[in-house]
Amino acid sequence: MAATVAQTAGSEKNMLLRAELRRSERWGKLRAFALVLPLLLFLVITFVFPIGRMLFNAVHDDTLLTLMPRTTAALAAWDGNDLPGEQVFAALAKDLRDTWEQKTMGSVAVRMNYELPGTGSQFTSSARKASTLLTGPYKAALIQIDPLWERKEVWNFFKRGASPFTAYYLLRSVDYQYGADSQIVATPPETAIFRDAFLRTFGISVGVTAATFLLGFPVAYLLATLSPKSSNLLMILIVLPFWTSMLVRTVAWVVLLQQNGVVNQALVGLHIISHPADLIFTRFATIVAMTQIQLPVTLLPIYSVMKTIPPSHIRAARSLGAGSFYAFWRVYFPQTLPGIAAGCLLTFILCLGYYLTPALVGGPSDQMVGYFIANYTNKQINWGLASALSALLLVATLLLYYVFNKLVDVNRLKIG
Amino acid sequence: MSTLVYASTIEKGWYWLHRIISGTVLLFLVAPVLMVIPLSFNSVPFFTYPMSGFSFRWYEEFLLSARWQGGLQNSFFVAVAATLLSSVLGTLAALGLSRPNFPWRTAVLGIVISPMIVPTIITAVAVYFFYANVGLVNSYTGVILAHTAIAAPYVVVTVSATLVGLDNSLVRAASGLGAPSITVFFKVILPLISPGMIAGSLFAFVASFDEVVIALFVAGPQQRTLPLVMFSGIREQISPTIIAAAAVLVLFATAMLTAVELLRRRSERLRGIRGT
């Protein structure tokens, strides 16, 4: 009896202790979280939110909905076949007058020009003329003002504007667009540039990744097999450029590859070519410069995996009768694969996002997706399209990064 | 070399071929910058060897012209501010993340590291769109905040690496002897992680000092940083002053990284002494 009481008291004490412990653990967690919170909040506001908003803007555009509210609403009942009725035209006339008075016709015109090039100015002049059009019937009058209002694709464009969301920018960034009946059609070849840009980005990235691998592998092998003293010395040669800013390294290539630069001078001096070649602003220059910049990124993971491979494996293979090439290829090389995968994937991911180097050493036909994003942001001013291109690039990057993370984790399991 | 004694001629050939290839690749890696920097001492604005004479005129232009000086000052101001902000935020976050059983660690770490992963051009454009709405385009605040965001992960990663080696019994001993946690932090933890913190802030400084793409979108004429002046210089016409500026950046980065390396060795040595 007494023992039971003591036991109960003990377990009660235990429970109290456990509760205490849990509380202090919760406190600890809370304190740890409080330490991270400032940075987390900072990044959410200054980084995650802007990116999220940009992704949202890739599919969201309520220009027509807010600036042409009556027209887009009246078109909801339109069947999309014949011209809309008088009631829709009346709504349009009111909206046109509003945009004229509030000076918002410019925004609508810009939006129209994205999807129906050249119609923007027709819209603006319609708005100007419609501002004096106070009584109906509007249909005939508006069509007389501008034949624009007879075109079915224009009406379908406004009908699509009833939704604040649009797939136009995403479609456009893979060279599709809306046809006259809101069906999805391929962009005409003269403006279909984005699939090429993505393919080019992919191609350049593959090329650079392959080049860094081919150049980096022998060096990594050398570093891994040399004595620590000499390999540390050589390591400086790799780490120093790695930490020199990308701009400086790009500038170096710009200077070297000039028409009358060092490389041309050397090539002419060695009688390899008779006249200075166009080296800068070419695909060749882009790939060479990017390869030089990315080389350490591919090399270092390969090197760090090679360091973990015991040299005794090769010796064992050799003593069992394998030739030196066979031993290398069948015993050593397979063990370096995790490092190769990590290094190459990392370089590939980073290459996809290149902007600076192709912009400075590449020509107009060597520009990657990053260039188009920049171009549509501050030159062509089509933020929706810039957002859609960024969204596609970002998704590709994050997916590949996810794969990378899985791979590296697998590596750790294998090595550890 | 001892292995070579038993090697066949073909193997010896491979051995030397491998060395020659590796040497060429290493040359390819370091030569561009090393070959270009001497051209900043050329007395005439040509980019070929042999140089026609030695002169400091491009460095003079770099140090005396308002354009370059403005860039240098802006870069220092932005980088120092971004470093201070990111070091404080990053160190606190690293301390929190290193606690055992940190809740939602993967998700939080993902967000904290994400500025390193997202391509800079995407960050730049997204931040530009955001700033355009809140009126931060063409402002120092805007550039500093954006640079802090991309520099902070470097601090978190570097300080976290130091914290992995931190002997927690030292912290417990201090607490057990009655030190309040604030004293423990300043007297025990901070001195132990200070090499990591300094290294992290140097990385953050370099990250901001070298950054050009975000500045390209966010900075106005008043905030033009040194890399931005270089960038627009190349687009107009390449001049040896740009190489002089590049040389200064290289010198700077090298000095910073030497400092980081020395700090790393020092902290390893300290830990070695404490370990025994």
Decide if A176 is inside a domain. no
Count of domains forming chain A: 3
Q: How far is A400 from chain B (nearest CA, A)?
A: 11
Regarding whether A216 and A118 lie in a shared domain, the answer is no
Residue A5: phi and psi, rounded to 5, are -60, -45
Q: How far is B273 from chain A (nearest CA, A)?
A: 23
The H or E element containing residue A184 is strand A184-186
Decide if A178 is inside a domain. no
CATH number of residue A308's parent domain: 1.10.3720.10
| pLDDT value at residue A414 | 39
Q: A215 Cβ partners below 8 Å, 6+ apart?
A: A291, A295, B25, B28
Cβ distance of B152 and A43 shorter than 8 Å: yes
What range does the domain containing A38 cover?
Answer: 1-57
Facing residue for B30 by CB, picked from A25, A237, A360: A237
Decide if B242 is inside a domain. yes
Chain B stretch 172-191, residues whose beta carbon is closer than 8 A to a beta carbon of chain A: none
Cβ distance of B33 and A352 shorter than 8 Å: no
Cβ distance of B48 and A265 shorter than 8 Å: yes
Regarding whether A220 and A101 lie in a shared domain, the answer is no
Residues of A83-121 as b/e, b for ≥16 C-beta within 10 angstroms?
ebeeebbbbbbbbbbbbbeeebbeebbebbebbbeebbe
- For residue range A290-348, what is the model confidence (pLDDT) as tens digits? 999 999 999 999 998 998 888 898 889 989 988 888 888 999 999 999 899 989 999 99
Regarding whether A276 and A212 lie in a shared domain, the answer is yes
Facing residue for A353 by CB, picked from B32, B119, B126: B119
E strand intervals along B56-193: none
Decide if B57 is inside a domain. no
Q: pLDDT grade, residue A409 (50/70/90)?
A: low
Regarding whether A347 and A266 lie in a shared domain, the answer is yes
Decide if B111 is inside a domain. yes
Facing residue for A360 by CB, picked from B47, B96, B234: B234
- For residue range A65-74, what is the model confidence (pLDDT) as tens digits? 999 999 999 9
- For residue range B201-254, what is the model confidence (pLDDT) as tens digits? 988 998 999 899 999 999 998 999 999 999 988 888 888 899 999 998 888 888
Which chain A residues have a beta carbon less than 8 Å from that of B35? 252, 256, 262
Length of chain B: 276
- For residue range B159-212, what is the model confidence (pLDDT) as tens digits? 988 888 777 888 889 989 988 888 888 888 888 888 888 889 988 998 999 899
Q: Which two tokens stand for residue A82?
A: 């014949």
Q: pLDDT grade, residue A10 (50/70/90)?
A: low
- For residue range A244-262, what is the model confidence (pLDDT) as tens digits? 888 999 999 999 998 888 8
Cβ distance of B29 and A383 shorter than 8 Å: no
Decide if B120 is inside a domain. yes
Regarding whether A409 and A267 lie in a shared domain, the answer is yes
Regarding whether B67 and B28 lie in a shared domain, the answer is no
Residue B84 CA, distance from chain mean position: 14
Regarding whether B118 and B17 lie in a shared domain, the answer is no
Regarding whether A344 and A232 lie in a shared domain, the answer is yes
Which residue of B lies nearest to A52 if distances are taken between CA atoms? B126
Q: A391 Cβ partners below 8 Å, 6+ apart?
A: A54, A55, A58, A170
Decide if A177 is inside a domain. no
Q: Which two tokens stand for residue A74?
A: 């009246």
| pLDDT value at residue B268 | 72
User: Do residues B242 and B62 make contact, with C-beta atoms less than 8 angstroms apart?
Assistant: no
Q: Minimal CA–CA distance to A283: which of A346, A345, A367, A177?
A: A367
Decide if B191 is inside a domain. yes
Cα A115 from Cα B157, distance rounded (Å): 46
Decide if A172 is inside a domain. no
Suggest the residue from A37, A239, A245, A254 to mutate for an interface test with chain B (most B CBs closer than 10 A): A245
Identity (one letter) of the amino acid at B34?
L
Count of domains forming chain B: 2
Cβ distance of A43 and B238 shorter than 8 Å: no
Decide if A251 is inside a domain. yes
Cβ distance of B128 and A46 shorter than 8 Å: no
Facing residue for B119 by CB, picked from A44, A254, A397: A397
Q: How many CB pairs under 8 A join A and B?
A: 244
Decide if B56 is inside a domain. no
- Flag whether residue B168 sits within 8 Å of chain A, measured between CB atoms: no
Decide if A19 is inside a domain. yes
- Selected residue with higher pLDDT from B7 and B62: B62
Regarding whether B270 and B158 lie in a shared domain, the answer is yes
Q: Minimal CA–CA distance to B109: which of B120, B119, B124, B99?
A: B99
**ipTM computed for the complex:** 0.89
Instruction: Decide if pLDDT at B275 tops 80.
Output: no
User: Do residues A316 and A280 make contact, with C-beta atoms less than 8 angstroms apart?
Assistant: no
Which chain A residues have a beta carbon less than 8 Å from that of B233? none
Suggest the residue from B47, B101, B148, B239 to mutate for an interface test with chain A (most A CBs closer than 10 A): B47
- Flag whether residue B60 sits within 8 Å of chain A, measured between CB atoms: no
User: Do residues A55 and A394 make contact, with C-beta atoms less than 8 angstroms apart?
Assistant: yes
Decide if A404 is inside a domain. yes
Q: B237 Cβ partners below 8 Å, 6+ apart?
A: none
Regarding whether B102 and B148 lie in a shared domain, the answer is yes
Suggest the residue from B2, B3, B29 to mutate for an interface test with chain A (most A CBs closer than 10 A): B29
Regarding whether B101 and B12 lie in a shared domain, the answer is no
Q: pLDDT grade, residue A79 (50/70/90)?
A: confident
- Flag whether residue B219 sits within 8 Å of chain A, measured between CB atoms: no
Cβ distance of B130 and A401 shorter than 8 Å: no
Note the pTM of the prediction, 2 decimals. 0.90
| pLDDT value at residue B256 | 83
Q: Which two tokens stand for residue A259?
A: 């028409």
Which residue of B lies nearest to A28 if distances are taken between CA atoms? B99
Facing residue for B103 by CB, picked from A33, A43, A398: A33
Neighbour-count burial of B194, counting CB atoms closer than 10 A to its CB (0-12 exposed, 13-18 middle, 19+ buried): middle
Q: pLDDT grade, residue B92 (50/70/90)?
A: very high
Among A144, A165, A186, which residue terminates a domain? A165
| pLDDT value at residue A174 | 93
Cβ distance of A252 and B19 shorter than 8 Å: no
Decide if B8 is inside a domain. yes
User: Do residues B47 and A262 make contact, with C-beta atoms less than 8 angstroms apart?
Assistant: yes
Regarding whether A324 and A406 lie in a shared domain, the answer is yes
pLDDT above 90 coverage of chain B, percent = 42
Regarding whether B68 and B7 lie in a shared domain, the answer is no
- For residue range A146-188, what is the model confidence (pLDDT) as tens digits? 888 888 889 999 999 999 999 999 999 999 999 888 889 999 8
Regarding whether B12 and B113 lie in a shared domain, the answer is no
Suggest the residue from A198, A201, A230, A244 to mutate for an interface test with chain B (most B CBs closer than 10 A): A244
Cβ distance of B230 and A251 shorter than 8 Å: yes
Regarding whether A104 and A19 lie in a shared domain, the answer is no
Q: Which two tokens stand for residue A197?
A: 């840009």
Cα A114 from Cα B200, distance rounded (Å): 46
User: Do residues B160 and B113 make contact, with C-beta atoms less than 8 angstroms apart?
Assistant: no
Instruction: Decide if pLDDT at A216 tops 60.
Output: yes
What range does the domain containing B23 cover?
Answer: 2-41
Question: Could you tell me the CA-to-CA distances from B88 to B20, B83, B95, B213 in Å, in that order?
Answer: 47, 8, 11, 25
Which chain A residues have a beta carbon less than 8 Å from that of B249? 244-245, 247-248
Q: Minimal CA–CA distance to B112: which of A401, A402, A36?
A: A36
The H or E element containing residue A13 is helix A2-43
| pLDDT value at residue B273 | 52
Cα B71 from Cα A384, distance rounded (Å): 32
Q: Minimal CA–CA distance to A306: which of A235, A243, A207?
A: A235
Decide if A154 is inside a domain. yes
Instruction: Decide if pLDDT at A411 tops 70.
Output: no
For residue A401, what are the β-bridge partners? none
Regarding whether A292 and A398 lie in a shared domain, the answer is yes
- Flag whether residue B109 sits within 8 Å of chain A, measured between CB atoms: no
User: Do residues A238 and A215 make contact, with C-beta atoms less than 8 angstroms apart?
Assistant: no
Q: What is the mean pLDDT of residues B16-32?
A: 93
Chain B stretch 25-44, residues whose beta carbon is closer than 8 A to a beta carbon of chain A: 25-26, 28-30, 32-33, 35-36, 39
CATH number of residue B118's parent domain: 1.10.3720.10
Regarding whether B108 and B8 lie in a shared domain, the answer is no
Regarding whether B71 and B23 lie in a shared domain, the answer is no
Regarding whether B31 and B123 lie in a shared domain, the answer is no
The H or E element containing residue A186 is strand A184-186
Decide if B51 is inside a domain. no
Residue with tokens 């201070």, as numbered in its chain = B84
Residue A281 CA, distance from chain mean position: 23
